[in-house]
Structure 1
């Protein structure tokens, strides 16, 4: 399995977390970067994941990912998350491709591995903890990824024929967009980088 992880330019990533860092742009960028690095670190360490590629046009993100041994591909000219994921899928040219969101700082490799195994050879997705979004989308072997991220993506992926995977994988379903999400992820056990970048109110 090869995974595509989209990472926004840090200045426009995770805008709803701006209040968590007191509006300081440097601290906010550091937190957004930490979320992505912890997510990718867990993905790289997952048995069954052969390769991880990030899609980003931020040189700071690309440099940090390179230090992890992860390749970064610039975002395509066409805007939007789905276009970026399609671009990443074309870059990988793999028989089995998945899209993993970059805001899973509590992600455990064992949970990701369990989800990959549960999917089998099916096109499948893992909904977020609210059940409306998508944290992981998997193409069937040799099949198209066909990403439909955006508001209500879980429903869109289900309607497109993807199978919902609902196993006991709280860290895989806990994407972080708000301060509440960050607190919940902390309970699950954050990655080291996010833990170091946490704002003062969490200590």
Structure 2
């Protein structure tokens, strides 16, 4: 199977603002680019991923993505993750299998990505470790489920799939479930208990 992957990346100066109590603006930028680099490198070395594109309205991020070996999808405006994926699909017009995956997954590994695609599934959803947001959405056909990323998006994606007559497969793995949004997430990085299953419950 050959899946096209799209990673939505907002302007680095507006990224990870919830970490401002713990990190300076420069440190947030550095963290943002380190995590994005890790996700892109992981996708690029995953066997089932045929191509990787970054959806962004930032010229700096577009140049960064191209330097990593990914394609850049230049968006009209930065309106958040949901709008970024919607714009990217409208501009890029991907066909076939499509993976939409966030760029702040510090523990992502190729085997995590491989679990998203399976012959028997039409829609696969990877929620965040709290079971509220969506960190990755795989569809056998692009556009089968509209990107609904944002608050409580996991439930919305599940409902959208079922409305299409599809029972989504849910994937809960550390690499897909652990994103970095708030100071608590930051504190858990490197903690010896981070891989315990309870963190994904």
Shorter chain as denominator, the TM-score bin is 0.7 to 0.9
Shift of 1:92: 4.5
Shift of 1:148: 0.9
* CA offsets 1:90-129 (integer angstroms, 9 cap, x no match): 3052211121011101111111112323x74312211111
Change (3 A) 1:68 1:78: closer
Size of the alignment, in residue pairs?
A: 184
Is the counterpart of residue 11 in structure 1 residue 16 in structure 2? Answer: no
Change (3 A) 1:151 1:69: same
CA RMSD of aligned residues (A): 2.1
Divergent runs of 4+, >4 A: none
SS at match of 1:110: helix
Change (3 A) 1:165 1:20: same
More helix by share: 1
Given that residues 95 and 142 in structure 1 are in contact (C-alpha distance below 8 angstroms), is that contact kept between their aligned partners in structure 2? Answer: yes
Q: Distance in 2 between matches of 1:124 and 1:110?
A: 15
TM-score for both structures, normalised by structure 1 = 0.81
Q: Distance in 2 between matches of 1:8 and 1:104?
A: 15
Structure with higher RCO (Cα < 8 A, 6+ apart): 1
Q: Distance in 1 between matches of 2:43 and 2:8?
A: 13
Q: Distance in 2 between matches of 1:20 and 1:43?
A: 29
Query: What are the within-5 Å matches in structure 2 for residues 136-151 of structure 1?
Result: 136-141=136-141, 143-151=143-151
SS at match of 2:130: coil
Q: Which runs of 5+ in 1 are unaligned?
A: 189-203
Query: What are the within-5 Å matches in structure 2 for residues 86-105 of structure 1?
Result: 86-90=86-90, 91-105=92-106
Given that residues 123 and 169 in structure 2 are in contact (C-alpha distance below 8 angstroms), is that contact kept between their aligned partners in structure 1? Answer: no
More strand by share: 2
Change (3 A) 1:81 1:157: same
